[in-house]
Chain A
Amino acid sequence: MTEMSEALIETVDLHKNFGDLEVLKGINETIHKGEVVTIIGPSGGGKSTFLRCLNLLEKPTSGSVIFEGNELNNATNLDDHRQKIGMVFQQFNVFPHLDVLANITITPMLEKKVSKADAEAEAMELLKQVGLEEKAHEYPRKLSGGQKQRLAIVRAMAMHPDVMLFDEPTSALDPEMVKGVLEVIQHLAESGMTCVIVTHEMGFAKQVSDRVLFIDGGVVAEEGTPEEVFDAPKNERTKEFLSQVL
């Protein structure tokens, strides 16, 4: 990314507690339009919780999440905002009772009143892009993990989101499936889609990101360009973490 464009998502002093456990301890971050941000850090450090707060799947204990200028915490039209915030999960979460095509078309048809014909035409186009057009009428049980995850990605894309959130999208995949999914995400990122990606794939993070956040102990302990964070980390905890995973 060359210049700082407008803010897409902003968090202000974001806190999240689970019972007595303080998982997020005040995060102030801004995700800019067109930016690709990867989030790395040790397990339990709060990176997935942070991501899940961005579309309010987790309700912040305090602080706010501002999406396209709208405070989401108390938004009455949260569903409308969520339609513009795509999310991809570690466990895919495709709908097992719907075939591949219906997985993609159901939400546009229900919530955006897109006609069946239009929704299906677009779904087929999206499936083609990720090499799944021949699976359109299969049920998810017939798909491999990598195929399910690609389906989950295009299912989110069918809502025409302004940003895509990825929560460890390759962590549940067999090793040989990882590459195909990362390619799809990379392609998205290169096409200008704003992406926030929680990942353990350091090589991928380095390659695809405009900016890397290292989240540990509920705070952003370090952030910078991939070169800054991976090649010349300043924080001791970042150094320690990277020495263990690289």
Chain B
Amino acid sequence: MGKGLIEVFITYWPIFLKGLGGTLEYAFIAVFFGSLIGALIALLHLSKNKILSAIAGIYVNILRGTPLLVQMYISYYFLPMAFPSLNNIDKVYYVLLALILNSSAYVSEIFRGGIQSVDVGQTEAARSLGMSASHCMKKIILPQAIKNILPALGNEYISMIKETSLAGTFMLYELMYTKTLLANKYLIWQPLFIIAGIYLLVTLTLSWGVKQMEKRLSVSD
């Protein structure tokens, strides 16, 4: 069996810490840029223009209907092949691109759900007062939708923390990648349990935080 869990952790904690830092960072980048793109996709999806709406629907379906790992492989291997001029871009960005686009599809559905959860009477009242469509969205609908969107975005970040573990496959330095590093030192099972423990600790803590946020937001009802 070799060394114990605690011994391995005490010896190699900086490696795990660096891995966790990578995980949190990649997940944040994915959700942050995913939110920007996702908000746009949601607006397209809700648009009265049927073609734009259909394009957004297809985008969401493809990204949610195929595994993230496949999307990462396509981004990592196919894009530089198809566009040789992209070859001098660091490979990290191809993996991040897949994470961001994948996240944008989920986030767009969060935005769409949040916007649709606001009573249609709110839009009717605002528009009947003569408020423009964009003011109505910015000042009336989104502030009310955010109550449903923020906790859901928190949960998306938590999911993304787990999803980024796939990035280790492409040598991105995140938590799961520490397994590969330590395997070189003949440590096989210990890192797995330590990694699982760290994921669990982080996701449970963040879930608790999201619950608190939900409670806060619902007070103003």
Chain A residues engaging chain B, CB cutoff 8 angstroms: 55, 57, 79-87, 89, 91, 93-97, 106-107, 110-111, 139, 141, 152, 155-156, 159
Contacts and interface: CB of A to CB of B under 8 A. Distances in A.
Interface of B: 119, 121-122, 124-132, 135, 139-140, 143-144, 220-221
A107 B132 CA distance: 9
A95 B125 contact: yes
A97 B119 CA distance: 13
Given A93-B119, A96-B144, A141-B221, A107 B124 contact: no
A67 B121 CA distance: 23
B124 A111 contact: no
A185 B176 CA distance: 67
Contact of A57 (B119, B122, B124, B135): B124
B151 to A, nearest CB: 16
Nearest to A103: B125
B221 A111 contact: no
A245 B119 CA distance: 31
Contact of B129 (A83, A91, A141): A83
Nearest to B140: A95
15 contacts: A79-B127, A79-B131, A81-B130, A82-B127, A86-B128, A87-B125, A87-B129, A89-B125, A106-B131, A110-B132, A110-B135, A111-B130, A152-B125, A156-B129, A159-B130
B47 to A, nearest CB: 16
Contacts of B119: 91, 93
A69 B100 CA distance: 52
Given A111-B131, A111-B132, A156-B129, A93 B124 contact: yes
B128 A110 contact: no
